[in-house]
Amino acid sequence: MVDRHDQATDPRLQEQLLQARRGTAFFARKLNELSDAELDGGSLLPGWTRRHVVAHVGYNARAIARLIEWAATGIETPMYSSPEARNHEIEFGATLSPIALRHLFDHSAVHLNVEWRDLPDPAWQHEVRTAQGRIVPAEETIWMRTREVWLHAVDLNNGASFNDIPATILERLLQDITGAWKTRGTDTGIFVEVSGQSQAMAFGDVGAVDATVIAGTLPAIVEWATGRGAGGVAAEGPAADDAAPAAPKWI
């Protein structure tokens, strides 16, 4: 049998697909390290067990695959029929048997990968609509999925950390997060300074005079910015109060 390869020939897209696939493999490894009983344990997300995280990641792959089908055919196929439908899907998925839940993740990941693989070069620029209503080219789905699998591998709460996430992904995440803050005007008085980089990295309200400065390594800063812990960052300034303030919402 002849192997089938990605139809995308753009090296940039190929590299992005590789990062998404590596993230999927990393999530799969952390999932496989959990026993069936441990799936009932708590995740890093409030109100969600590990079951909810796995169900979300599985159904997210199906939803993104629908966007790729839209880009390929021109027939509108939304990610979800409604926010309520999405939430119901996750709650239902969390009740599946362990083997069914694992199969959901595996099969949905394969399905999405095939949709990506078979999408021809021109179709990557076809516009689709995200669940938040943003109109984006189909290539944006790669980043949407990359973010999901790497972050939620940490959320499984069984040993993965932000130190496991590639620096290029952490950098883009931080740009997305601080960009969302700026758009909403919620970054006022917050200056984020990343240490240990070859080039200075600063985000947030860079012009503030009395800003609260949040400093730390790139993994620690992204962990804080995503609302998943502040143990690795230091805070100085009027709002610090001996501890880093909670990061503004970003999603």
In this structure, the answer to whether residues 174 and 97 fall within a common structural domain is no
Q: Is the pLDDT of residue 36 over 90?
A: yes
Both 150 and 171 in a single domain? no
Cα(48)–Cα(151) distance, rounded to whole angstroms?
14
Q: Which residue shows structure tokens 């601080």?
A: 178
- Whether 3 is in a domain gets the answer no
* DSSP per residue, 128-190: EE-TTS-EEETTHHHHHHHHHHHHHHHHT-SS--GGGS-HHHHHHHHHHHHHHHHHHT--TTE
Domain final residue pick, 125, 160, 195: 160
> Looking at the predicted structure, is the pLDDT value of residue 53 above 70?
yes
On whether residue 2 sits in a domain, the answer given is: no
Residue that wins the pLDDT comparison between 223 and 205 = 223
Torsion of CA 118, 120, 123, 129, to 10 degrees: 20
Pair 155, 189 in one domain: no
Q: Is residue 171 part of a domain?
A: yes
Out of 160, 177, 195, a domain closes at 160
The 3-state DSSP class for residue 103 equals helix
Lowest mean pLDDT among 31-35, 103-107, 131-135: 131-135
Task: Write out the residue range of the structural domain in which residue 52 sits.
Answer: 11-160
**One domain for residues 91 and 201:** no
| Amino acid 206: pLDDT | 73
pLDDT digits (tens, 9 = 90+) for 73-128: 999 999 998 989 999 999 999 999 999 999 999 999 999 999 999 999 999 999 99
pLDDT band at 209 (very low <50, low <70, confident <90, very high): confident
Average pLDDT over residues 142-154: 97
Number of domains making up the chain: 2
218 pLDDT band, cuts 50/70/90, is: very high
CATH of the domain at 179: 3.30.1050.20
Residue 244 lies in a domain: no
Q: Are 155 and 44 in contact (CB under 8 A)?
A: yes
